[in-house]
């Protein structure tokens, strides 16, 4: 039973709740949930490398932003078809991740954090200088993307289930990757890189591929995000957003570990983190304009109370 | 319905209004007020919010005779957060009007979700060219100005003054570029240098050294918020204030003067309003504002105040029947209220036609520093984009 | 006769002025246990690191099965059939014992770049891993996180991981260190049994075990090879006795 | 571009570098010695400025206010160490990031409640408010020169502290081997608390000194924190010397890039392309520098001994 709870219990409960949401939620709550789910997809992709491979990327928002700009720029150029734009967005973010990852992965620890920040910042400044596409003001989408020529994504229900479906697919993919031989190498290299090398495995290509896949998934979440807000902005690529994603992943890992239902490197925990952070922010900011004065100490308490249990997550 | 919208979501100021209202009989008018209330630019949103809420309070917690509910939300200066918040305002709180928005990039993000839902959007500040021109909407009204206009004031002034050589400086983003373009629309002399700085830059010593080296007749800048505070102080410290006139827009105003203090004395700005503007409605407004909040209002406060009065005028004219969108729009277009700016009417693109002034930082008799009207530069000025708006 | 499994020729390594490996020549043949002994600080662990590829030599060559691997990275040498245990045990502490071995099994099978799970072949490899654990007497601990195993159990686990790759050459860095008498005896048996599959380069302080197991013994003192030969000859060598065994024996 | 202009920009770059060094020094010490990633270091810089706003207003003097503000910052540093940082020693870096991020949110909002949302100012001391003529037609503010001098003095003091005193010896030893130091019978907890509070005070000093030229506003530490991290990573974590060199490097490159990059680009690109690309590139120079250095030296310029 615990084993079941650890692997499948938490995500199953969360997905069932999300799938049932249209039964009780109004359209605003649905769009709030869509936002949470889109961040969850980005958080799950970040957790693949952060929790799975121990690589803390501080430039993940840039990958999400590249995906968003992919959709925005294509639409500005007259391509509204999601079946074209979404794969392009994923490819662009994935290739950016591969190119920058190839260099970043030569470093470790905090150096890796900072070099990914550097590449993220470069992407941010490039987005800011794209004056043909709104520069700093950002770019409005004419409408949501078409799917096979249909206006499918424009209905709140259809959008909800589309996002939910892609989120589930992303979570399944990341879960499968981490459970597969490939993921075993990633997790092992996080645990004890020297041992892994002595077994004849060079972690570099595994990490690079994982980074690329995480980039593509982040790009997908960015593409969805552009559709949700019908707007793309350089602010999507800012380091603040990267920090928020890290907070979601780590807080989710710690919260899930405290519930004995997961930890870092488990898609269900990242999903929990994103839902918690987005919904808590919304709830607290409804209460008071100064909600951060409550939210900040909550994070501190989570860490202090969570203790070392979070490390007992999937490794 | 959730626990009293005002108390939960609008913070203390709105709570006070709800209590003082006391008229619960009629259907309340719901307004969502979007303002930047966190981060370094929070003070701009604070001025706008306080101005808006002051107007509602003065009208006894009503707008146009109906009890008012004002839901204040913080856009955090993040466009996607703003979109999320206005969706909440429209879909959950079912507001009749959305008002406010300080920054143009936030406006760019929210204008579609609001006007697309056929909800009236009353800008309390941001006036990007797209919405003034081809992207104008029957549901969008500006209670402020079009972004370029304040810059044009300085361009016109520099031209009229006969300056031969100027240096221009702005942050490297769209509003910064628009600012310099606006200045150059009227200024025809030599531009010795156009400096673009990083957004959020702290230190301008490098740029100011270049300004000093160029020895221009005047310096024009658009440097909002904390950046402007730094620039003003550093401009003074670099010894440039005595030699090169400092022309600016959105750089020295009542949000930054408390921090710059006397360093900004004698600096110029362009605006449609200043606290000492000699209009009866304005005298009353400034006095009440200072009494209520203990600080001098900036133009954001004045615009927020006018936005509330504008909404009130439309509610009153339609007798509170806000479902009749055409009637509301017609009423709004009349701009039948006493603006703190005196002359105020709407152009075809639903942006104001108003007077613009050169204002200069001076000291009041009580020793406080504020912007003061120096001369009128444009009379009854409409913006440059109205022609491109298909609305008639 | 075919070339020895491992040939080390003129290997030199210095850290600044400190010479830790000084022109060392050494061979290991298939099926042979070659023990490397010497006092603390003689440079044994550096030598192992040089052979394994974690440290790059200043001069000299290392040949594995006749192929020059001097410039090859750790993982390439491992792929070429070199497996090892560490002086301080090195396992994957958060992985269960069987997962540790399963990683070694998949590495040996060159099946690691499989992005998605394939239940069938994964089950086969897990069974193989359980089998290897049973070989080293850890069958009962298969699902215990490696981090909480006893020291001796970790040693055994390392050996199982090393054997999973069907290595040609096994580098064992002090496998008896810290083991109790019971565990030590079991380890001697395990190493002895492994000899059938590969050549072994054994660094060890436990002289009883060394002379029980080794076919050949080399003595390293201050980075130099002092003597090399059959155990009895080395034991009898007066230079060795003076430099090393003399003090150890007393 | 004239040589005098270049000279002034070099001075400006130095001054930014000095400011960065003051913030980065504490950050790199806390990271190097106690292995704690303290994101809250930026808000300590901000708190220094805000405390100085109050202290200089209360005392009516810059010179009386400064020691008061520094003392208050020291106390707040000790409190923060005791409340939040101490339980984080030896914990995972990510947990430290999460907890200290929470501190950032709290303090940024807190200063808004205490000091208001608008920018605040610290009056410049009379004695330093002028500008002096460095060269023909170019004046340079005295205060900025004083800031550079003060920063260099602190750097010198730090150098002496770290290399010549017992506490400094322990700090250096602690950076490479904390268990060894505690095995020597040193109360490592007390040492850590002192180092942390001292680092907080250095950051506060930077904030207080920056106050008269920069606006004091909520969130003012966030951007600087990122730059400080860039500095310590370029310098090599735990290395004061590395932080000093890297801070000056970052200050100079950032300032010179902003000043001259667009003009330089005009030599090879069209004017419009140069004004388009120049500022974007100038914003990136620091990050390009860091990425470049890390690709070739993955542990910074002065890596701590492994």
Name chain D contacts of B40, Cβ cutoff 8 Å.
119, 217-220
Name chain A contacts of D103, Cβ cutoff 8 Å.
296, 300
Residues in A whose CB is inside 8 Å of some CB of B read 26-29, 31-32, 35, 128-129, 131, 134-138, 140, 225, 228-231, 233, 235-236, 282, 285-289, 292
Neighbouring residues of A21: CB distance < 8 A, sequence distance ≥ 6: A29, A30, A33, A160
Biggest distance spanned by C-alpha atoms of chain C? 61
| Residues 68-107 in B contacting A (C-alpha not used; CB under 8 Å) | 72-74, 77-80, 83-84, 87-88, 90-92, 104-105
Considering only CB atoms, B74 lies closest to which of A228, A236, A289, namely: A289
Considering only CB atoms, C114 lies closest to which of A181, A202, A205, namely: A181
Residue B355 has pLDDT above 70, yes or no: yes
Summarised one tens digit per residue, pLDDT across range B265-307 is 999 999 999 999 999 999 999 999 999 999 999 999 999 999 9
pLDDT of residue C232: 87
Question: Which residue segment(s) compose the domain that B199 sits in?
Answer: 148-271+356-388
Residue B17 has pLDDT above 70, yes or no: no
Question: What are the backbone dihedrals phi and psi of residue B247, each rounded to the nearest 5 degrees, phi first?
Answer: -105, 140
Residue A109 has pLDDT above 90, yes or no: no
**Confidence band of B18 (pLDDT split at 50, 70, 90):** very low
**Confidence band of A4 (pLDDT split at 50, 70, 90):** low
Residue B50 has pLDDT above 50, yes or no: yes
Summarised one tens digit per residue, pLDDT across range B162-215 is 999 999 999 877 778 889 999 999 999 999 998 888 777 777 887 888 898 899
Q: Under a CB-based contact definition with an 8 Å cutoff, are residues C157 and C86 in contact?
A: no
Summarised one tens digit per residue, pLDDT across range A235-290 is 999 988 999 999 999 999 988 888 888 888 889 899 999 999 999 998 998 888 88
Could you give the 3-state DSSP secondary structure of residue B253?
coil
pLDDT of residue C1: 47
DSSP assignments along D98-122, one per residue: HHHHHHHHHHHHHHHHHH-SS-B--
Q: What is the tally of structural domains in chain B?
A: 2
Considering only CB atoms, A200 lies closest to which of C75, C90, C99, namely: C75
pLDDT of residue B20: 45
Summarised one tens digit per residue, pLDDT across range C202-249 is 998 888 888 889 999 999 888 888 888 898 888 888 888 877 655 544
Could you give the 3-state DSSP secondary structure of residue B267?
coil
- Shared domain for B227 and B365, answered yes or no, is yes
Tokens of B301: 């406060």
Contact B210 D259 (CB under 8 A): yes
Q: Is residue B348 part of a domain?
A: no
Name chain C contacts of A205, Cβ cutoff 8 Å.
113
Domain A3-310, second-level architecture: Orthogonal Bundle (1.10)
Hey, what CATH class is C6-92+167-249 in? alpha beta
pLDDT of residue B10: 41
**Interface contact A78, partner C, CB < 8 A:** no
Q: Is residue B351 part of a domain?
A: no
Q: Taking Cα atoms as reference points, which of B221, B181, B164 lies closest to residue B197?
A: B221
Least confident of A103-112, A136-145, A303-312, D141-150: A303-312
Burial A194-221 (b: 16+ CB within 10 A, else e): ebbbbbbbbbeebbbbbbbbbbbbbbbb
**Tokens 């979700």 belong to residue:** B113
Burial B144-157 (b: 16+ CB within 10 A, else e): bbbbbbbbbbbbbb
Name chain C contacts of A184, Cβ cutoff 8 Å.
99, 102-103, 106, 112
Residue B4 has pLDDT above 70, yes or no: no
Summarised one tens digit per residue, pLDDT across range D222-268 is 888 999 999 999 999 888 889 999 999 999 999 888 888 888 888 88
User: What gap in Å lies between CA D27 and CA C6, rounded to an integer?
Assistant: 49
Contact D119 B40 (CB under 8 A): yes
Summarised one tens digit per residue, pLDDT across range A50-90 is 999 999 999 999 999 999 999 999 999 999 999 999 999 99
How far from the centroid of its chain's Cα atoms is residue D209's Cα?
Answer: 11
pLDDT of residue A285: 85
| Residues 90-109 in D contacting A (C-alpha not used; CB under 8 Å) | 91-99, 101-109
**Confidence band of D90 (pLDDT split at 50, 70, 90):** confident
**Confidence band of B6 (pLDDT split at 50, 70, 90):** very low
Give, in order, the Cα–Cα distances in Å from A309 to each of A179, A305, A314.
21, 10, 11
Q: Where does residue A156 rank: exposed (0-12), middle (13-18), buried (19+ CB within 10 A)?
A: middle
Considering Cα of B15, then B19, then B25, then B29, what sign does the dihedral take? negative
**Interface contact B215, partner D, CB < 8 A:** yes
Neighbouring residues of C29: CB distance < 8 A, sequence distance ≥ 6: C4, C5, C199
Q: Is residue B46 part of a domain?
A: yes
Considering only CB atoms, B87 lies closest to which of A31, A140, A287, namely: A31
Residue C89 has pLDDT above 60, yes or no: yes
Tokens of C98: 């069987």
Q: Best of A289, A291, A292 to disrupt the B interface by mutation (most B CBs within 10 Å)? A: A289
pLDDT of residue C247: 53
Q: Is residue B350 part of a domain?
A: no
Share of chain D above pLDDT 70, in %: 93
Q: Under a CB-based contact definition with an 8 Å cutoff, are residues D122 and D143 in contact?
A: no
**Tokens 């006095």 belong to residue:** B287
Quick one: residue B30, left, alpha or beta (phi over 0 = left, psi -120 to 50 = alpha)? beta
**Interface contact B201, partner A, CB < 8 A:** no
pLDDT of residue D265: 86
Chain B residue with minimal CA distance to A289?
A: B11
pLDDT of residue A116: 94
The alpha carbon of residue D103 is apart from the nearest alpha carbon of chain A, in Å, by 6
The alpha carbon of residue A142 is apart from the nearest alpha carbon of chain B, in Å, by 9
Residue B16 has pLDDT above 90, yes or no: no
**Confidence band of B2 (pLDDT split at 50, 70, 90):** very low
Chain A residue with minimal CA distance to B71?
A: A286
Residues in A whose CB is inside 8 Å of some CB of D read 50, 56, 103, 106-111, 114-115, 117-119, 121-122, 125-126, 128-129, 131, 239, 243, 246-247, 250-251, 254, 264, 290, 292-293, 295-300, 302-304, 306, 308, 310-311
How much helix, strand and coil, in percent to the nearest 5, is found in chain D?
80, 5, 20
pLDDT of residue B129: 86
Contact A26 B74 (CB under 8 A): no
The alpha carbon of residue D5 is apart from the nearest alpha carbon of chain B, in Å, by 7
Neighbouring residues of A309: CB distance < 8 A, sequence distance ≥ 6: A254, A257, A258, A263
pLDDT of residue D176: 64
Q: Under a CB-based contact definition with an 8 Å cutoff, are residues B197 and B168 in contact?
A: no
Residue C124 has pLDDT above 50, yes or no: yes
pLDDT of residue C244: 65
> DSSP alpha helices (H): ranges in chain B?
5-9, 11-21, 42-58, 79-87, 104-116, 129-132, 147-161, 174-186, 205-214, 225-237, 257-260, 280-293, 299-318, 325-334
Residue D209 has pLDDT above 70, yes or no: yes
Summarised one tens digit per residue, pLDDT across range D47-73 is 999 999 999 999 999 999 999 999 999
Q: Is residue B129 part of a domain?
A: yes
Q: What is the dihedral of CA B134, B140, B144, B150, to 10 degrees?
A: -10
Considering only CB atoms, A118 lies closest to which of D113, D276, D287, namely: D287
pLDDT of residue B21: 45
Contact D278 B196 (CB under 8 A): yes
Share of chain B above pLDDT 90, in %: 67
- Shared domain for B256 and B298, answered yes or no, is no
Considering Cα of D158, then D163, then D165, then D167, what sign does the dihedral take? positive
Could you give the 3-state DSSP secondary structure of residue C201?
strand
- Shared domain for B170 and B213, answered yes or no, is yes
pLDDT of residue C177: 80
User: What gap in Å lies between CA C245 and CA C235, rounded to an integer?
Assistant: 8
Q: Do chains C and A touch (3 or more CB pairs under 8 A)?
A: yes
Least confident of A158-167, A302-311, B2-11, D10-19: B2-11
Neighbouring residues of D251: CB distance < 8 A, sequence distance ≥ 6: D13, D14, D15, D16, D17, D18, D19, D20
Tokens of B226: 């904390």
Q: Which CATH number fits domain D3-296: 1.10.730, 1.10.3470, 1.10.1060, 2.60.40?
A: 1.10.3470
What's the angle, vertex CA D118, arms to CA D112 and CA D119, rounded to 5?
A: 105
pLDDT of residue C245: 54
């Amino acid at each position: 039973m615990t084993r079941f709870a650890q692997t499948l219990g938490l995500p199953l409960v969360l997905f069932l709740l999300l799938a049932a949401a249209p039964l009780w939620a109004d359209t605003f709550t649905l769009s709030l949930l869509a936002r949470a789910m889109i961040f969850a997809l980005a958080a799950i992709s970040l957790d693949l490398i952060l929790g799975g491979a121990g690589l803390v990327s501080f430039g993940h928002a840039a990958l999400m932003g590249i995906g968003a700009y992919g959709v925005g720029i294509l639409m500005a150029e007259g391509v509204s078809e999601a079946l074209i734009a979404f794969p392009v967005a994923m490819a662009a973010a994935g290739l950016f991740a591969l190119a920058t990852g190839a260099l970043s992965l030569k470093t470790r620890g905090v150096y890796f954090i900072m070099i990914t920040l550097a590449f993220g910042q470069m992407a941010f400044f490039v987005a800011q200088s794209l004056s043909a596409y709104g520069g700093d003001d950002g770019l409005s989408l004419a409408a949501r993307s078409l799917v096979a020529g249909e206006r499918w994504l424009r209905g709140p229900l259809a959008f909800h289930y589309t996002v939910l479906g892609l989120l589930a697919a992303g979570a399944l993919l990341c879960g499968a990757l981490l459970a597969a031989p490939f993921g075993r190498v990633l997790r092992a290299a996080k645990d004890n890189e020297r041992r892994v090398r002595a077994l004849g495995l060079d972690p570099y290509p595994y990490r690079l591929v994982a980074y690329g896949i995480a980039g593509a998934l982040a790009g997908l979440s960015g593409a969805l995000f552009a559709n949700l807000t019908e707007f793309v902005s350089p602010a999507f690529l800012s380091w603040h957003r990267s920090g928020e994603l890290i907070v979601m992943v780590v807080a989710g890992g710690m919260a899930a570990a405290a519930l004995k239902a997961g930890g870092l490197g488990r898609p269900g925990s990242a999903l929990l983190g994103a839902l918690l952070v987005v919904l808590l922010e919304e709830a607290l900011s409804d209460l008071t304009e100064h909600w951060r004065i409550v939210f900040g100490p909550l994070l501190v308490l989570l860490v202090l109370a969570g203790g070392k249990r979070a490390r007992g997550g999937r490794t | 319905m959730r626990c009293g919208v005002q108390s939960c979501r609008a913070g203390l100021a709105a709570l006070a209004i709800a209590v003082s209202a006391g008229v619960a009989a009629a259907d309340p008018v719901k307004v969502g007020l979007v303002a930047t209330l966190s981060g370094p630019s929070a003070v701009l949103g604070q001025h706008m919010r306080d101005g808006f809420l002051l107007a509602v309070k003065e009208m006894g917690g009503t707008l146009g005779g109906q009890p008012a509910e004002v839901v204040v939300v913080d856009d955090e200066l993040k466009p996607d957060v703003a979109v999320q918040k206005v969706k909440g305002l429209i879909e959950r709180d079912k507001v009749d009007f959305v008002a406010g928005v300080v920054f143009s990039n936030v406006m760019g993000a929210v204008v579609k979700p609001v006007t697309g839902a056929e909800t009236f959007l009353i800008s309390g500040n941001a006036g990007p060219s797209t919405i003034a021109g081809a992207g104008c909407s029957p549901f969008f009204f500006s209670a402020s100005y079009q972004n370029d206009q304040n810059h044009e004031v300085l361009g016109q002034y520099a031209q009229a003054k006969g300056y031969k050589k100027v240096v221009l400086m702005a942050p490297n983003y769209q509003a910064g570029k628009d600012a310099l373009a606006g200045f150059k629309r009227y200024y025809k002399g030599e531009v010795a240098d156009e400096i673009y700085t990083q957004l959020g830059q702290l230190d301008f010593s490098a740029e100011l050294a270049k300004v000093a080296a160029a020895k221009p007749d005047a310096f024009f800048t658009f440097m909002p918020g904390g950046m402007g505070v730094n620039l003003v102080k550093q401009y003074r410290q670099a010894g440039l204030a005595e030699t090169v006139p400092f022309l600016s827009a959105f750089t020295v105003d009542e949000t930054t003067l408390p921090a710059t203090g006397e360093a900004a004395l004698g600096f110029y700005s362009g605006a449609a309003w200043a606290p000492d503007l000699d209009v009866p409605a304005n005298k009353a407004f400034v006095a009440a504002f200072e009494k209520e909040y203990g600080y001098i209002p900036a133009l954001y406060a004045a615009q927020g105040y006018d936005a509330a009065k504008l909404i009130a005028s439309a509610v009153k004219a339609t007798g509170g029947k806000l479902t009749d969108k055409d009637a509301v729009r017609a009423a709004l277009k009349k701009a039948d209220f006493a603006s703190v700016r005196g002359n105020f009417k709407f152009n075809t693109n639903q942006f104001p036609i108003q007077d613009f002034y050169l204002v200069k930082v001076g000291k009041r008799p009580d020793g406080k520093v504020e912007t003061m009207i120096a001369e009128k530069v444009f009379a009854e000025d409409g913006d440059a984009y109205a022609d491109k708006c298909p609305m008639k | 006769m075919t070339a020895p499994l491992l040939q080390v020729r003129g290997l030199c390594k210095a850290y600044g002025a400190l010479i830790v490996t000084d022109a060392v020549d050494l061979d290991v043949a298939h099926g042979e246990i070659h023990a490397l002994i010497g006092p603390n600080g003689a440079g044994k662990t550096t030598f192992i690191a040089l052979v394994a590829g974690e440290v790059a030599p200043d001069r000299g060559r290392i040949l594995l099965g006749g192929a020059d691997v001097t410039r090859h990275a750790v993982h390439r040498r491992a792929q070429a059939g070199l497996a090892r245990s560490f002086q301080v045990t090195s396992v994957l502490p958060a992985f269960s014992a069987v997962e540790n071995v399963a990683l070694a099994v998949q590495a040996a099978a060159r099946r690691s770049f499989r992005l998605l799970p394939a239940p069938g072949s994964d089950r086969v490899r897990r069974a193989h891993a359980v089998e290897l654990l049973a070989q080293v007497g850890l069958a009962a601990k298969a699902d215990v996180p490696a981090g909480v195993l006893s020291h001796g159990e970790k040693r055994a686990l390392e050996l199982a991981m090393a054997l999973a790759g069907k290595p040609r050459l096994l580098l064992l860095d002090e496998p008896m260190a810290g083991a109790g008498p019971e565990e030590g005896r079991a380890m001697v048996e395990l190493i002895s049994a492994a000899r059938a599959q590969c050549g072994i380069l054994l660094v060890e302080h436990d002289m009883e075990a060394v002379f029980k197991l080794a076919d050949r013994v080399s003595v390293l003192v201050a980075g130099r090879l002092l003597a090399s030969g059959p155990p009895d000859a080395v034991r009898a060598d007066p230079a060795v006795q003076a430099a090393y065994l003399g003090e150890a024996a007393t | 571009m004239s040589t005098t202009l270049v000279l002034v920009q070099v001075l400006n770059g130095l001054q930014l570098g000095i400011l960065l060094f003051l913030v980065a020094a504490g950050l790199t010490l806390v990271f190097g010695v106690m292995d704690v990633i303290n994101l809250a270091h930026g808000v300590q810089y901000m708190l220094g400025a805000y405390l100085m706003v109050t202290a200089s207003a209360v005392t009516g003097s810059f010179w009386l206010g400064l020691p008061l503000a520094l003392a208050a910052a020291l106390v707040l540093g000790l409190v923060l160490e005791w409340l939040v940082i101490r339980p984080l020693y030896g914990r995972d870096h990510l947990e430290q990031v999460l907890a200290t991020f929470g501190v950032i949110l709290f303090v940024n909002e807190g200063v808004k409640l205490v000091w208001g949302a608008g920018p605040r100012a610290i009056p410049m001391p009379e004695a330093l408010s002028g500008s002096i003529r460095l060269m023909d037609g170019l004046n340079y503010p005295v205060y900025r020169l004083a800031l550079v001098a003060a920063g260099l003095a602190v750097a010198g003091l730090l150098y002496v502290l770290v290399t010549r005193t017992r506490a400094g010896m322990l700090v250096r030893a602690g950076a490479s081997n904390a268990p060894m130091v505690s095995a020597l019978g040193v109360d490592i907890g007390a040492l850590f608390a002192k180092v942390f509070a001292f680092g907080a005070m250095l950051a506060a000093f930077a904030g207080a000194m920056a106050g008269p030229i920069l606006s004091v506003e909520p969130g003012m530490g966030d951007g600087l924190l990122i730059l400080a991290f860039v500095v310590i990573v370029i310098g090599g974590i735990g290395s004061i010397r590395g932080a000093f060199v890297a801070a000056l490097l970052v200050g100079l490159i950032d300032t010179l890039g902003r000043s001259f990059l667009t003009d330089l680009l005009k030599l090879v690109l069209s004017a419009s392309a140069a004004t388009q690309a120049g500022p974007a590139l100038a914003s990136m120079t620091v990050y390009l520098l860091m990425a470049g250095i890390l690709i070739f030296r993955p542990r910074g310029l002065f890596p701590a001994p492994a």
